[in-house]
Amino acid sequence: MHIPDGFLDPWVAGLFWLASGAAIGLAVRRARGALGDERTPLLGVVAAGIFAAQMLNWPIPGGTSAHFVGGAFAGILLGPSLGVLAMTAVVTIQAFVFGDGGIIALGANLFAMAVVDVLVGYALFRACRGVHETGAAFVAGWGAITVSALVVGLGIGSSSAFAYAVGTTVPIMVVGHALLGLIEGAITAAVYGYVADARPDLVLGRSTDGTAAVEVGT
Partner 1 sequence: MTADVRPTRPWIRWAVGCLLVLVLLAPVFGWASGAVGYAEPIGNAAHATGAADAASTVLPGLLPDYSVAGLDGPLGTLAAAGIGTVLTLGVALGAGRLLER
Sites for partner 1 among residues 152-211 (CB under 8 A): 152-153, 156-157, 159, 161-163, 165, 168-169, 172-173, 175-177, 180, 198-199, 201-202, 207
Task: State how far the Cα of 82 lies from the Cα of 48, in Å rounded to an integer.
Answer: 13
Q: Is 60 in the site for partner 1 (CB under 8 A)?
A: yes
At 25 the three-state DSSP class reads helix
Q: Is 43 in the site for partner 1 (CB under 8 A)?
A: yes
Which x/- pattern over 92-111 shows residues binding partner 1 (rule: CB under 8 A)? -xxxxxxxx-xxx-------
Residue 65 burial class via C-beta count within 10 angstroms: exposed 0-12, middle 13-18, buried 19 and up: exposed
Q: Which is nearer to partner 1, 67 or 128 (CB)?
A: 67
Q: Is 31 in the site for partner 1 (CB under 8 A)?
A: yes
Q: Which amino acid is at 2?
A: H
Nearest distance, CB of residue 216 and partner 1, angstroms: 6
Task: State how far the Cα of 127 lies from the Cα of 12, in Å rounded to an integer.
Answer: 31
Q: Which of 5, 205, 210, 212 binds partner 1 (CB under 8 A)?
A: 5
- Separation of CA 121 from chain center: 7
Q: Is 40 in the site for partner 1 (CB under 8 A)?
A: yes
The single-letter DSSP state of residue 123 is: H
Q: Which of 24, 69, 108, 149 binds partner 1 (CB under 8 A)?
A: 149
Q: Is 125 in the site for partner 1 (CB under 8 A)?
A: no
Q: Is 6 in the site for partner 1 (CB under 8 A)?
A: yes
- Nearest Cα residue to 91 out of 74, 78, 66: 74
What separation, in Å, do the N-terminal and C-terminal C-alpha atoms of the chain show? 37
